Amino acid sequence: MPELVKLIGLDFGTTTSSAVIAAALLRRTATGRVDLDEQEEIFRSEMVFTPIDANDRLDVEAVERLLDGWLRAGKVQARELFGGGALLTGLTAQKDNAAALVRLIRSRLGDALIATADDPCLESWLAFMGSCADLSRRHPEAFVLNLDIGGGTTNIALGRDRQVSRTGCLFVGARHVQVVPGTYRIVKLSTYARELFVHLGIGKGPGDDLSAADVDAFLTLNVRLLEAVCSGDRTLLEIPAVQRLEQVRFDMAMDILDSAVTFSGGVGELIYRHLQGEPWPATTHYGDLGIDLAQRIAAAPVWAESLRRFRPGSGGRATVYGLLRHATEVSGSTLFLGSPHLLPLADMPILGALTAQSSDAHIHDVLLLIQQSSRGGCVQIRIGSKEAVVVAEFGRRIARILQQIAFPATHPLVLLVEENLGKVLGQYVTCWGKLPLKVLVIDEVPARDAQYVQIGTLRDQVVPVSFHGFRPAGETP
């Protein structure tokens, strides 16, 4: 019988936080692979303001109450969780006590899932998958550029046919300028906003009213920057105050003549709601410039065609749905688990990539790096052939080099293999179990350009695998 598991997505953003919990079945498909099937959403929280205390730090106690309430409402126990994760995004990730919140989340969700802060490229990837996965599949020929505009950041991802090829991140968002709702009286400015105000000659701060010209100048610069991202024009980014907004550089591929541009995040949701006929909320209703930014984007001729033709999903919850549905890969079901008790493995560093064509020297270097890593490490493998003779020879070479470098028997070594060849590769690598090694070979896992991987415990012959610490290119190293 298929096993019932639960998935979770938690997003603690600059402005708002939200949770989604779903139940799913681990089901064997016709080809023998196990997939997550029949996902049913069992809980979706309200969007709530991310709890911030008087000192502009995360209110960890309030978050704890929030988190426990969500888990109760979703009737979820940590041991039931198979996939998904939690992200601290935007400016929340930059709070000085963000790490404390990550620890809190891990204490609740366990080590199998992602729980991380300040991983903008992962966030961009997830936002793309959460909002554009279906759209991208319906238009597999089209490049889709998704701008996920939240309170603090704009997470950028370019992809085609559900494969993200580039990511980046800007400190452009709704909440850099906080105002009294219904007015343009400044309540608070972010560091980035203050620098932009200086650059624009707007000499105003908390308590001052922004004029129409001030607002226009500030938003025009924001929108021009977003336009520049889409066109690949970096002229504007030569201005130091603007350059500071670039958290992770995004280089638009210049050979792409035409891409569909979509928007997600809170600002994206406002745009598409308006396009569907909803009136704009009242002036600065949310106490920031998000509505004004959405209005500028909706009116910009450069995006008119895309906004008319393409409609992404999930809106303001793109990241949380990305987490829920796409953060976790299901491994193959014929794994080599020489030391299954090692699982779950959290934050395993990915220290290299190999193929059957890799030289002995390359294999040696990667394995040595793992040997020198205090916690062991992981190597991503694309064998490149399913022929027994190739797999056997590759496995024997790895075994030989492991013996040469006297790889310690107590040191965790994880091989993440793209092909369905984990069991046999593990057997050749361990000389049919004779080499005393703590080796896990997890197969049918696509390579990701990430620095870390989480691997959960064995469920119905498969393990959940999640990556974090994404690099901007979004490609295999």
Q: Which residues bind other proteins (CB under 8 A)?
A: 1-2, 27-32, 37-38, 134, 137-138, 334, 336, 386-389, 391-392, 419-428, 431-434, 443
Measured at the CA of 82, the angle between CA 366 and CA 44, to 5 degrees, comes to 130
Of 269, 286, 289, the closest CA to residue 219 belongs to: 289
β-sheet bridge partners, residue 164: 159
Please state the closest distance from residue 37 (CB atom) to other proteins, in A: 7
Tokens 């569909």 appear where? 260
SS3 of residue 160 by DSSP: strand
Tokens 């730090």 appear where? 57
Buried b vs exposed e over 80-116: b needs ≥16 C-beta within 10 Å? bbbbbbbbbbbbbbbbeebeebbebbbebbbbbbbbb
Closer residue to other proteins in complex, CB, 125/394: 394
Please state the closest distance from residue 2 (CB atom) to other proteins, in A: 8
Strand segments, DSSP code E, in 287-434 are 328-330, 336-337, 345-355, 377-382, 412-417
Distance CA 146, CA 312 (A): 9
Which residue blocks in 147-201 are alpha helix, DSSP H? 191-200
Closer residue to other proteins in complex, CB, 76/135: 135
Please state the closest distance from residue 181 (CB atom) to other proteins, in A: 37
DSSP β-ladder status, 259-264 and 143-149: parallel
Please state the closest distance from residue 89 (CB atom) to other proteins, in A: 26
Closer residue to other proteins in complex, CB, 188/438: 438
Closer residue to other proteins in complex, CB, 72/386: 386
- Pair 263, 295: CB distance under 8 Å: no
Please state the closest distance from residue 182 (CB atom) to other proteins, in A: 39
Closer residue to other proteins in complex, CB, 35/111: 35
Distance CA 291, CA 301 (A): 18
Closer residue to other proteins in complex, CB, 113/144: 144
Please state the closest distance from residue 129 (CB atom) to other proteins, in A: 13
Please state the closest distance from residue 73 (CB atom) to other proteins, in A: 24
In this structure, how many other beta carbons lie within 10 angstroms of the beta carbon of residue 277?
A: 6
Closer residue to other proteins in complex, CB, 138/309: 138
Closer residue to other proteins in complex, CB, 26/149: 26
- CA dihedral for 441, 442, 447, 450, sign (positive or negative): negative
Please state the closest distance from residue 435 (CB atom) to other proteins, in A: 11
